[in-house]
Structure 1
Amino acid sequence: MPLVSSSSDDDTDVNTIAVIAEAAHFMFQNTASSSVPRNRTFIHRDRQTAEQQLMADYFVPNSKFGDVIFRNRFRMSRRLFVRIAQDLEMNYPIFQTTYNAGGVKGFTGLQKCTSAIRQLGGGSTPDSLDEYLNMSERTSRESLYNYCSGVVQLYGAEYMRRPTTSDIQLLYAAHEAKHGFPGMLGSIDCTHWDWRSCPTYLRGQYMRGDHRYPTIILEAVASYDLWIWHSYFGVAGGNNDLNVLYQSPLFNDTILGTAPSCSFVLEGEEYKHGYYLADGIYPNWATFVKSFSHPITPKKKRFKAAQEAARKDVERAFGVLKAKWAIIRQPARSVEVDRCKDIMYACLILHNMIIQDEGRAICPVHVPDSPNEQEVSPDLILEIRNQGIHQKLLADLVDHIEHTYIPTLDH
């Protein structure tokens, strides 16, 4: 028995050694390729020198470039830019200055915010900022995405809010004084953003027959001062656009009745809900006021001219947005829908913040309403979609505009 046991142990040891040798040989073959020298160049980026140059150019007393040049290049005042950078640095570690294991200082929050705003405002590609900021393409791209996401999370609740009761009253007064339309909340329209980097599996969902490339649609409401109150960011689905928009927060909040309802009086008639000026693609609801395709009488011609003149607000808003933020004037670069959405919403929020910072907002102070869990009842939906109310409102507006002085028409 001892002899047999010893022979068995020897065979086991031999087999074990063979398996270990084979495994070592296999691992050596797999790791041999990784030991081959690669043509990877290390670029020494002097971050501290870049930081000193940036501070001397824009952020120290008696800086090289004054307030006018700063606003042209950063799209906003210095105080607003610094305020946003400080809020981001306070709430997100990615914007805080860190040191690596060798004690080398990383990028500051101002450097990362500068990279992000240059990409948003100037449409710069991430690698084009390497020469001035000494920031790699990957870091610049991550700075942009984190900046947009942080702006949406920090300021979206205030600057992309639905109007409160106080806001609605101020909107009524401002639009009636400017355009002659009592009870007007704003103008509604949509624009398209090319998405040439759309993934293949999503192209069918984002294609339209009148566009060569996939596009993402932005539905927005704007006031005459280009203050954008709401927006819906979704697919461009051809004839199904309105079906998608009816399910959006924009329509559910402000048109289907969950938003505060402020009545107004027109030609002796009281209307419960405000309305939006729209074009012909929108339905004949009580919350939409459209123009006439072929007006014949003088008062209908005057109404058509007044309505189309007032609707230029939202067209100008889209034009100003694309002129101010070149990144949405160019095709979207990201392949992820959420990142495209954050970029667009960040541009809208920053636009509204700039309007308020410059003192041009209709509703400069946010006065929240008392908490109210209001549900949309079927009767309210039928009331909103009542075509009889739509026709009555349109007729009363035609009579009202006929005898109203409108600065944009009667100057």
Structure 2
Amino acid sequence: MNHRMIDRNREEGHARLYRDYFSDAPTYTETHFRRRFRMRRSLFLRIEEAVTTHDNYFTQRTDVVGVRGLSSLQKVTAALRMLSYGTAGDAVDDYVRIGESTTIESLKRFVKAIVEVYGDEYLRRTNDEDVSRLLRENEQRGFPEMLGSIDCMHWKWKNCQTGWQDRSHLFEDLAESHGPKVRYTVNGYEYNMGYYLADGIYPSRTTFVKTISKPQGKKRKYFAYAQESVRKDVEEHLEFYNLDLQ
């Protein structure tokens, strides 16, 4: 009762999405795509193909009267928009033509598929080769001995710590101020582990280097500017870094 059926014209939603971003001559450029999807188009298509092959939930179906359902592009786009921007489940309904409950289900299935497909290779503890590569890259960015940038998107730290702690070695280690062993000295103090750039929601840990709130003086202002610039650069350009290299 009180449930209103809406004819969303799903096929038009898919056609619009395809024309705008995935056709041979899309409306929006690769730059627009990377800014709005937080990754390259080629990477998106590889992930979309992988999760569709792994879970037929994302495969487009046709019902008994010949009406086509949601495409994998629509479901994956809705899931990624929620992950990337922390939006509500119905935020892309008017464009992608996908209901709130289906978006949430797509998000759950997408995350599960990503863990199952890529977990063994990418969701693991860093090894010596990984650490060496990260240190080399981040030194070029102006932060020697930095391992990367931590960003929980729009989730609070407590959710990362309690919700993902059992699955993520990274958050489990960081919660206990543990990290890959890296030795360096700053202002006469010797440190024995690498660090991550983080924003203000994170607690005080030796593994987190946060920006300076309301910095005073040229040095502090420069550090705050550099920390925030590099952190944003890492977040925007190194998401799915290993996947994008292949």
Class of the TM-score when normalised by the shorter of the 2 chains = 0.5 to 0.7
Unaligned stretches of 5+ in structure 1?
A: 1-37, 196-213, 220-228, 235-241, 256-260, 267-272, 291-304, 325-349, 358-363, 366-411
Does structure 1 residue 186 correspond to structure 2 residue 186? no
**Residue in structure 2 matched with residue 126 of structure 1 by the alignment:** 89
Q: 1:276 aligns with which of 194, 209, 217?
A: 194
- 1:86 and 2:39 matched: no
Query: Per-residue deviation at 1:318?
Result: 7.4
Query: Normalising by structure 1, what TM-score?
Result: 0.43
1:289-328 equivalent positions in 2, closer than 5 A: 317=231, 321=235
* Aligned amino acid, residue 122 of structure 2: Y
Amino acid in structure 2 at the alignment position of 1:216: N
Task: Using the aligned pairs only, state the percent identity.
Answer: 25
Distance 1:278 1:70, change over 3 A: closer
The reply on whether 1:231 has 2:145 as its aligned counterpart is: no
| Alpha-carbon contact 2:85-2:154 (below 8 Å) kept | no
Cα offset, 1:81, TM superposition? 0.8
Superposition map of 1:161-310 within 5 A: 161-174=124-137, 184=145, 186=147, 215-217=158-160, 231-232=170-171, 245-246=175-176, 251=178, 254=179, 275-277=193-195, 282=205
Query: Are 2:235 and 1:353 aligned?
Result: no
Residues 171 and 314 (structure 1), Cα distance of their counterparts in 2 relative to 1, 3 Å cut: farther
Q: Secondary structure at the match of 1:127?
A: coil
Please identify, of 122-131 and 172-181, the stretch whose mean Cα deviation from structure 2 is larger.
172-181
Q: 1:167 Cα shift?
A: 2.5
Q: Which AA in structure 1 matches 2:66?
A: G
Cα-to-partner distance string for 1:121-178 (whole Å, 9 max, x where unaligned): 3433222322222211111111122222222332233334322232233345455666
**1:194, 1:216 within 8 Å by CA — same for their partners in 2?**
yes
Aligned length: 221
For 2:122, the equivalent position in structure 1 comes to 159
RMSD: 4.6
Segments of 5+ residues of structure 2 without an aligned counterpart are 163-167, 186-190, 198-202, 210-218
Q: Secondary structure at the match of 2:65?
A: coil
TM-score of the aligned structures, taking structure 2 as reference length:
0.66
Question: Residues 180 and 122 from structure 1, CA distance in 2 versus in 1: closer, same or farther, beyond 3 angstroms?
Answer: closer
8 Å contact kept, 2:78–2:92: yes
Asked if the contact 1:113–1:143 (Cα under 8 Å) also holds between the matched residues in 2, the reply is: yes
